[in-house]
Amino acid sequence: MSDVSSAPAVAVSDLATAFPGAIILPYRGIWPHIDPSAFVAPGAVVAGDVEVGTGASVWFNATVRGDVAPVRIGARSNVQDGAVLHVDAGSPCLVGDDVTIGHGAIVHGSRVGDGVTVGMGAVILSWSVIGPGAIVAAGALVPERAEVAPGTVVAGVPARARGPVEAERRATLDGAAARYAAYAADYRAAVAARAGEGTDGD
């Protein structure tokens, strides 16, 4: 995972302008640290001790809440629509680089390695560790303190290993972060244009 904290961040006074429509809040005086190249969609909530890395994206109606522990989102990772990232006391939520967190997934107080895919509606409970390149299948439930080996597919309730990630599947997933970075650039332009329209004629 890249060192998000060493990168530049959007000034607190500029957050509303940089990410129009997003709800970005402090918790006990700590504001999110969001890289200028990141995309935070309208309707997304980012609050407290949260760092969002270079080229990362937080999509519509996602919630990222760093209150009793930090949340870190690495470079080019995407937190898709309706996903929730939260923490437990003493158990931060650490998301590596090039990670895809699918629509409606919950990642709670866990460590997610680089290149992981978390499928739609999956739930990862606190103190779990997801190894680099692993896949947590859609709808899977990873119980507390579980460990998923690197490059492994897990599925089911509770999640169990189903074997290694196949090469063809790996090749498809490896492009997901780049695709979402491109989507984010398009949406950033659309949001900026819409925000500009709101000031015309004043």
Q: What is the pLDDT of residues 142-189, one digit of tens each?
A: 999 999 999 999 999 999 999 999 888 887 777 888 899 999 999 999
pTM, to two decimals:
0.92
DSSP of the chain = ---GGGS----GGGHHHHSTT-EEE-BTTBPPEE-TT-EE-TT-EEEEEEEE-TT-EE-TT-EEEEEEEEEEE-TT-EE-TT-EEE-BTTB-EEE-TT-EE-TT-EEES-EE-TT-EE-TT-EE-TT-EE-TT-EE-TT-EE-TT-EE-TTEEEETTTTEEEEEPPHHHHHHHHTHHHHHHHHHHHHHHHHHHHHHHTTTT-
Domain ranges for the chain: 4-197
CB atoms within 10 A of CB 42: 16
Topology at the third CATH level for domain 4-197: UDP N-Acetylglucosamine Acyltransferase; domain 1 (2.160.10)
Query: Residue 24 above 60 pLDDT?
Result: yes
pLDDT tens digits along 31-54 = 999 999 999 999 999 999 999 999
Count helices and strands in the chain by DSSP H and E runs: 3, 20
- Winning range, highest mean pLDDT, from 4-8, 11-15, 109-113, 178-182: 109-113
Assign 7 a pLDDT band (cuts: 50, 70, 90). low
Asked if omega into 158 is within 30° of 0 (cis), the reply is yes
Tell me the backbone φ, ψ of residue 181, rounded to 5 degrees.
Answer: -65, -40
pLDDT of residue 9: 85
What average pLDDT is seen over the chain?
Answer: 92
